[in-house]
Structure 1
């Protein structure tokens, strides 16, 4: 499809959208009663609900159904696909890697972002320091992965080192190291890339929360002799707890969907695959529809408690 045809399709889609809105307004503009307002609201809400049903609910239900079928999607196999996920040696490595990602990335990203936000808060170089750590957020995960592939690049010690990491190791007199080839540490080195990207996000959110702490609370704590680490522990952290929860849960969801870094840096080889990438590999490479949809369902099941918890915490915050 040419660029011109794509542009025409975009224009048509925009025109259809405005036409639908115009029709709804024309049909409901004369309804002035309370019942008319309800009809008007329903006229706008129902199309959105229909799109959610077609674009979200139907695919979700279909995916769950297909997870109980065989690799070709023809015969029912019960829970065999889920059994494979939790018993097959290769799939267990995927689960191990995913657990490492979900545990380390949110915690370390949040800790680094929080400590950084506290250290640079109200300093003379605050803006520059924040811009430096937030800069990776402006880079796509694919771009970040390519950058770190150069950082981890490996050559024999006798050769010139392109990668910064091995150049430093060689400069210190040690043998060079295959960062993204040696299991299980290669997973940790991939995780570092995600932490590098997400720490900036955590810093921005937490820094804004720290600045929102009322000055009278801080001054009262200082008059009581609270300072340093005690100020951080008893004043800063409790005051920004809702933001901490949002940051942790948001990064956790992002991490569960990690795909770009694994795909770009290792292609899932060398025992580095995670659930999101394994879904892609099973569905599009191995053509194992049943196992792929079972993995997708598992990701959905893992994400839902985090989303529900996050929504409840936000409602509690709004109720205060």
Structure 2
């Protein structure tokens, strides 16, 4: 079946299935399980009203259980076992406890990946939030601010792999003496007169080259959220600061930022979660070579290249353990903002 037709059929079946489920389940509830008639009519109506919300929640709970809870439990199990292929071709999983975690922590590549992830955590959320806040403030002060916001937000519409390909061309290096199609090397050769550099192979600095891609993408997200927060600041506080003689910098740093600090934290932690799971950019640009390995790429290498499901699952659990506290904190702050 053609992919477009298959997608259309899937949407129709999905929507139709949901409508059919809600319709039939409510009919069954009202007519067969708790019918609103007879001597227990009042009690049945109350019971039906208690059960009805769970009918609507059931598809979401079922999907979360199948696609979220079960994979987590299965990953924990795999991280504590070793996959063994028997002589007859069958596969068994032998319990090995924390041996996979010990093996993972004994590998230099794991610590390289963990160190790089920590560096990403420091740089990317800070720069993305700072640039997003700066863009939100400046675009609100110019007449063509909406156009500027659209241009800044545009990278959010590009997939991580697509953005990686674009920036790989920016960093591209051609042999000396030939025309450079990579913008960075073209500028570098023009001003310095030196030979073009293979930027993605330079240890330490190449990680920052990769981080720029994610900062470029996430700045638009931070700008949109923070721009809405800035617009929500009461004008009276700004006007009072102007009357008291505050300059624009004092208004921005001492009046506006304190009032949107909760939103800044939410944006920061949201980008932090994205950073902890970063995979596509590293995979498409360096594949973890030249000391650019990150945890998600390390997990992929173990699972699908080394076929070591135990260590790969252990790496997945490390990522989940790092993400969970930040996710909980993010939800807590988001709910506090809503009160």
Q: TM-score, normalized by length of structure 2?
A: 0.88
Q: Distance in 1 between matches of 2:74 and 2:133?
A: 41
Is 1:297 aligned to residue 317 of structure 2? yes
Residues 1-320 of structure 1 aligned to structure 2 (within 5 Å): 3=3, 8=9, 11-29=12-30, 33-72=45-84, 74-172=93-191, 173-319=193-339
Q: Which entry has the higher C-alpha Rg, 1 or 2?
A: 2
Unaligned runs of 5+ in 1: none
Q: Is the 8 A contact 1:148 1:193 kept in 2?
A: yes
Distance 1:21 1:294 in 2: 40
Structure-1 separation of matches of 2:149 and 2:288: 33
Structure 2 unaligned regions, length at least 5 = 37-41, 85-91
Q: Which segment drifts farther, 3-12 or 201-210?
A: 3-12
Q: How many Å separate the matches in 1 of 2:2 and 2:49? A: 44
- How much does 1:159 deviate? 2.0
Partner deviation per Cα, 1:3-26 (whole Å, 9 max, x = no partner): 466655554444433322221121
Give distance in 2, aligned partners of 1:243 and 1:309: 13
8 A contact 1:84–1:91 mirrored in 2: no
Kept after mapping to 1: 8 A contact 2:109/2:293: no
SS at match of 2:199: coil
Q: CA deviation at 1:43?
A: 2.2
Following superposition, the deviation at residue 255 of structure 1 comes to 1.2
**Aligned length, in residue pairs:** 319
